[in-house]
Chain A
Amino acid sequence: MNLLHLFGLPPAASTYAADIDFGLRLTFGAIVFVFFSWSVYLAYLVFRYRNKPGERAEYEKSEGISKAMIPGLVVLVLEMILIIFWEIPVWGKIKEEMPKMGDVVEVNVLAQQFAWNIQYPGPDGKFGRREQKLVSFSNPIGLDYNDPAAKDDIVLANELHLPLGKTALIHLMSMDVIHDFAVPEFRIKQDIVPGMDIPLWVKPTKIGTFDLACAQLCGFGHSLMVGHVVVQTPEDFAAWLKKEAPAPQAASSANNF
């Protein structure tokens, strides 16, 4: 039982959530321990050495080079152990090592004020070309439908579907200002910077619908920029992809044959 759930921590729904929860438990445990032992000591000092009539303070002059440094050095050693043996490897696993293409679900997330545009590559596995001048109300990401790779692409707003137990590689891009991809249940967060394509991976471990809320102030509609992540069984996910697939354009296929 993780006590932090009583203080608001939502249930975990990704593979690396356990690592992050371990870190939270460890650091909060240390905080509570240090704070209470320090406070008890402080309270003792304040009570023990309160001013009493006729008593004089001790004239003790310590340069304190050694004694005062002990707590600081203990803290330093513990922190360095934490960093070297736990933090650096786990951070590397989450943020540095990206899954190889192949057996992953690839999705583009194109954030804009104040919506999440989601683009799946479709059966061909290739994302269609996008162009700024094609952006319009009905084509928010400016997908170039003359590109063959674009014909089977699925473009949605504010709904990101992911299959359970499969690694998803998400390409984060912004069309205007800085946004932030945050799903509390996944314990993941990543700023989305215009002009950059930032990869992020997640392997969901729980079926359900979670809020996908922007976590970086992006303008007047910031608090309303909320979509959903729907985690489904791989079968349901495949069926959903099929249902969302764009209808083949009759004219162009007739011309080809």
Chain B
Amino acid sequence: MSEHKTSFLKKYVFSTDHKVIALQYMFTSLSALLIGFFFVLIMRWELAFPGHPIPLLGRLFSARLTPNGVMSPEFYNMLGAMHGTAMIFLGIAPLGFAAFGNYVLPLQVGAPDMAFPKINMISYWSFVVGCLILAASFFLPSGPLQSGWTAYPPLSEITRGTTFWILAMVFIITSSLLGAINFIVTGLNMRASGLTLGRLPIFVWAQLVTSAIILLAFPPVEGGAILLLMDCVAHTSFYLPQGLTILGHASGAAGGGQPILWQHLFWFLGHPEVYVLLLPAIGIVAEIIANNSRKPLYGYKAMVGSLLTILILSFVVWAHHLYISGMSPFLSDFFAITTLAISVPSVILLTCLVFSLQGGSIRFTTPMLFALSFLPLFGIGGLTGIPLGVTVTDIYLHDTYYVIGHFHYVVVAGILMALFGGIYFWFPKWFGRKMNESLGKWHFWGTVIGINGTFFPMFILGLAGQSRRLWNPLAQAHNVPWQKWHVVSSVFAGILLLAQIPFIYNFFHSLFKGERVSDNPWEATTLDWACPSPPPHGNFSSPVSVYRGPYEYSPPSHRDSWVSQNAEAS
């Protein structure tokens, strides 16, 4: 394809090129991660030193949010809800799914672009509108959402900020749905000749399954959110029972609704969403491990089978978030069984990744360090989920800091580490330059220390029975002896922030001044490395054909330690 002469605006802003859109998603989601991290740093000050003025920042906010520089409980709840929303819906999910998927999936299937480039552009700009609405809600008189990122009614209906949160979510959900359709069509219909389903890289499989989950899980919560919106703005009562008395005043709601209904609709998305975050990360780790252990990935079919099993099972586990919500306790046994059953495909995926190392010749590159750390760190996240999946032990641990520790080990220690690895791995493909290895290692070790120091104390706080979402933990006498662990956690959160400085510097420095590398610096086999770095408009100079599976590393018939998927049989 020829290089078009296009204006700056069309080339870099309203672009339909999957590579530009991927990088737009990447910069937006990395910014959202940083902003969401700042939210929680302010909260962690309040948790470690309740009632003390916030240093430096305390006077920046309005007197309503931080009277005398001290965080108000409303502000705490706003930051809490927006931290969750920003990290999950604006940070991790668009980074793993939209950014990596957009860049790598079309390349790995040998396609010139996405199947629907314009829909791809609409998907990104819809996402931007969602982000802007959320950001704007901070400056509205109502403020942002303050009822947790789960927005449980009736609380979400009697506090302000919910309406704008729902509006933003509708744009973000639309963006995800458009992206999912695009990924499925591209991944299935635009494969290069010879690229059978059995020859697709695990990353592509992971993105396809993620897309299917998004397509099936988001519409119910979107419908549910519209009902919540109606409750907020049109005074319907989908989620409100009769006869509520709010702070001494009778609520005018007609009643007849059921608050738990929202929880079912929300978690019908909410739990599959965990796999929307996780599966792209698993795909990235699989690519990095195969490439850096220089041998074929272990158990390709078992991994694909596990991904497909997760696709089905992830839709029948949602109510394990509701064991003690007041739903019929007889339902819980069913969800406990499905919840423990879904651990099996996850265990198989991890087992295959670990077995892939056996007999390898492991290169300890920066992406490999991140991918290797995913295995034990995500292991902690997964294993600590067992006492939450078991109904009896969940009675004690539910809604405590233990839950916070568990899912941050899953999402930060596991998934985010894998995504960092992916950035180091594909950076040469995006920019034709490599990120600095020693800065990458500083980033890696600092992040590992910061993450464990931040999140491990939460297990102790949770075992001590401390509830989550407390503006002032010391208001409850039983929390006082364990307060020191909040201080530890906050100090390490600061270290985690410092550890990101080498990454941010490395990213921008390497963008302009990094070491120039060849098209395939990692000596990788998949098609994304068979095109120039960065790939031109249209990606491949001529249509590619595929002759073999995705992980032909160290085959005995070749002198090189790799054979590209599109290399003709000799």
Using CB atoms and an 8 Å cutoff, list the residues of chain A in contact with chain B: 4, 7-10, 19-20, 23-24, 27-28, 30-31, 34-35, 38-39, 41-42, 45-46, 49-52, 55-65, 67-69, 71-73, 75-76, 79-80, 82-83, 86-88, 90-92, 94-96, 112-113, 132-133, 135-137, 142, 175-178, 180, 182, 184-185, 187-196, 198, 210-211, 213-224, 226
Total A-B Cβ pairs within 8 A: 312
Q: How far is the CA of A63 from the CA of B302 in the complex (A)?
A: 7
Partner among B357, B464, B556 whose Cβ is within 8 Å of the Cβ of A9: B464
Interface string of B462-476 (1 = CB under 8 A from A): 111101111111011
**Which chain B positions have C-beta within 8 A of A65?**
299, 301-302, 305
Q: Which residues of B contact A (CB under 8 A)?
A: 72-74, 77, 146-148, 152, 154-155, 158-159, 241-248, 250-251, 255, 258-260, 293-296, 298-303, 305, 324-326, 329-330, 332-333, 336-337, 340-341, 343-345, 347-348, 351-352, 354-355, 357-364, 372, 375-376, 379-380, 383-384, 386-387, 390-393, 395-396, 398-400, 459-465, 467-473, 475-478, 482, 553-556, 561
A176: B residues at CB distance < 8 A: 154, 158, 244-247, 251
Write the chain B residue with the least CB distance to A223: B470
**23 A/B residue pairs, CB under 8 Å, sorted by A:** A7-B459, A8-B461, A8-B462, A8-B465, A31-B384, A51-B364, A58-B295, A64-B298, A68-B302, A68-B355, A72-B345, A76-B344, A83-B390, A113-B247, A180-B324, A187-B395, A191-B324, A195-B243, A213-B467, A215-B398, A217-B468, A218-B155, A219-B158
Q: Flag if B463 contacts A132 (CB, 8 Å).
A: no
Shortest Cβ gap from A7 to chain B (Å) = 5
User: Is B337 in contact with A34, judged by CB distance below 8 angstroms?
Assistant: no
Contact of A57 among B360, B376, B461 (CB under 8 A): B360
Expressed in whole angstroms, the Cα–Cα distance for A215 and B468 within the complex equals 7
Please determine whether B361 and A56 come into contact, CB atoms closer than 8 angstroms: yes
Q: Is the CB of A46 within 8 A of B362?
A: yes
The reply to whether B393 and A193 contact each other, CB–CB distance below 8 Å, is no
Q: Which of B330, B345, B467, B472 has the most C-beta atoms of chain A within 10 angstroms of its own C-beta?
A: B467
Closest residue of B by beta carbon distance from A220: B73
B197 → chain A closest CB, angstroms: 15
Inter-chain CA distance A27–B155, complex, in Å, is 34
Q: Is the CB of B395 within 8 A of A189?
A: yes
**A41: nearest residue on chain B (CB-CB)?**
B354
Q: Which 6 A-B pairs give the minimum distances between C-beta atoms?
A: A64-B299, A195-B241, A184-B465, A8-B464, A58-B359, A8-B463
A52 to B359, CA, bound (A): 12
Question: By the criterion CB–CB under 8 Å, are A217 and B348 in contact?
Answer: no
Q: Which one of B296, B354, B471, B478 lies within 8 Å of A211 (CB-CB)?
A: B478
Q: How far is the CA of A27 from the CA of B181 in the complex (A)?
A: 40
Give Cα A224 to B332, complex, Å: 31
A24, A42, A57, A88: the one contacting B294 at CB < 8 Å is A57
Q: Determine if B301 and A51 form an interchain contact, defined as CB atoms under 8 angstroms apart.
A: no
Report if A87-B460 is in contact (Cβ < 8 Å); known contacts: A45-B358, A68-B348, A176-B158.
no
Contact, CB under 8 Å: B476 / A223: yes
- Please classify the interface of chain A as helix (H, G, I), strand (E, B), loop, or mixed, using the class held by over half of its residues: mixed
Nearest Cβ in chain B — how far from A89, in angstroms? 9
Given contact pairs A57-B295, A68-B355, A176-B154, A189 touches B245 in the complex (Cβ within 8 A): no
Contacts of A217 in B (CB 8 A): 77, 147-148, 152, 155, 468-469
Is A211 touching B477 in the complex (CB atoms < 8 A)?
A: yes
Q: Find chain A residues with CB under 8 A from B400 CB.
A: 215
With A27-B386, A35-B379, A58-B295 as contacts: A135 and B250 at CB distance below 8 Å: yes
Most chain B Cβ neighbours within 10 Å, of A24, A59, A63, A175: A59
Apart from A95-B395, A198-B326, what are 6 other A-B pairs with CB-CB below 8 Å? A8-B461, A24-B393, A51-B294, A58-B295, A64-B299, A184-B465
Contact of B472 with A87 in the complex, beta carbons under 8 Å = no
Contact B158 A59 (CB under 8 A): no
Q: Are B73 and A177 in contact (CB under 8 A)?
A: no
B295 adjacent to A60 (CB under 8 Å): yes
Q: Are B329 and A193 in contact (CB under 8 A)?
A: no
Instruction: Please name all residues of chain A whose beta carbon is closer than 8 Å to the beta carbon of B298 when the two chains form the complex.
Output: 60, 62, 64, 68
- Which A residues are CB-close (under 8 A) to B330? 96
Asked whether B391 lies within 8 Å of A178 as measured between CB atoms, the reply is: no
Closest beta carbon of chain B to A139's beta carbon, Å? 11
Chain A residues with CB under 8 A of B250: 132-133, 135
CA distance A92 to B392 in the complex (A): 9
Q: Is the CB of A75 within 8 A of B470?
A: no
CB nearest to A190 among chain B residues: B324
Task: Pick from A64, A79, A178: contact of B300, CB below 8 A.
Answer: A64
A61 near B399 (CB under 8 angstroms)?
no
* A73–B1 alpha-carbon span in the complex (Å): 50
CB distance from B261 to the nearest CB of A (A): 11
**In the complex, are the beta carbons of B463 and A4 less than 8 A apart?**
yes
Bound Cα distance A112, B243 (Å): 13
Cα(A19)–Cα(B396), bound, Å: 11
Q: Nearest Cβ in chain A — how far from B465, in angstroms?
A: 3
Name the residue on A nearest B155 (C-beta). A177
Residues of B within 8 A of A50 (CB): 361-362, 364
Output the least CB separation between B528 and chain A (Å): 21
Hey, which chain A residues are within 8 Å of B77, CB to CB?
217, 219-220, 222
Closest chain A residue to B345, Cβ basis? A72
The listed residue (B158, B159, B360, B475) touching A224 by CB distance below 8 A is B475
Task: Name the residue of chain B whose CB is nearest to the CB of A17.
Answer: B396
In whole Å, how far is B153's beta carbon from the nearest beta carbon of chain A? Answer: 8
Chain A hits for B324, CB < 8 A: 95, 180, 189-191
- Name the contact of B395 in the complex, choosing from A31, A86, A94, A113 (C-beta under 8 A): A94
Cβ–Cβ < 8 Å partners of B460 in chain A: 7-8
- Partner among A41, A42, A52, A221 whose Cβ is within 8 Å of the Cβ of B361: A52
A72-B347, A184-B478 known; A45+B354 contact, CB < 8 A: yes
Minimal beta-carbon separation of A211 from chain B (angstroms): 5
Inter-subunit contact A132/B243 (CB<8 Å) = yes
Contacting pair B355 A59 (CB below 8 A): no
Which residue, of A67, A95, A96, A187, has the highest number of chain B Cβ atoms within 10 A?
A95
Q: Can you name the residue of chain A whose Cβ is closest to the Cβ of B296?
A: A61
Contacts A7-B459, A223-B475: A20 and B396 contacting too (C-beta < 8 A)? yes
Q: Is the CB of A27 within 8 A of B393?
A: yes
Closest residue of chain B to A184, judged by CB? B465
- With A61-B296, A176-B246 as known contacts, state yes or no: A42 contacts B380, CB within 8 Å: no
Q: Given the complex of chains A and B, what is the CA–CA distance between A184 and B463 in angstroms?
A: 9
In the complex the two chains form, is A75's CB within 8 Å of B459's CB? no
Residues of chain B within 8 A (CB-CB) of A9 are 463-465
A68 to B477: give the CA distance in the assembly, Å: 48
Which chain A residues lie closer than 8 Å to B376 at the CB level?
Answer: 35, 38-39, 42
How far does the alpha carbon of A90 sit from the alpha carbon of B255 in the complex, in Å? 36
Contact A10 B399 (CB under 8 A): no
Q: How far is the CB of B397 from chain A (nearest CB, A)?
A: 8
Kindly identify which residue among A60, A75, A82, A214 contacts B296, using a CB–CB cutoff of 8 Å: A60
A87 to B390, Cβ gap below 8 A? yes
Whether B386 lies near A30 (C-beta < 8 A) is yes
**In whole Å, how far is B506's beta carbon from the nearest beta carbon of chain A?**
23
**A222 and B471 contact, CB distance less than 8 A:** yes
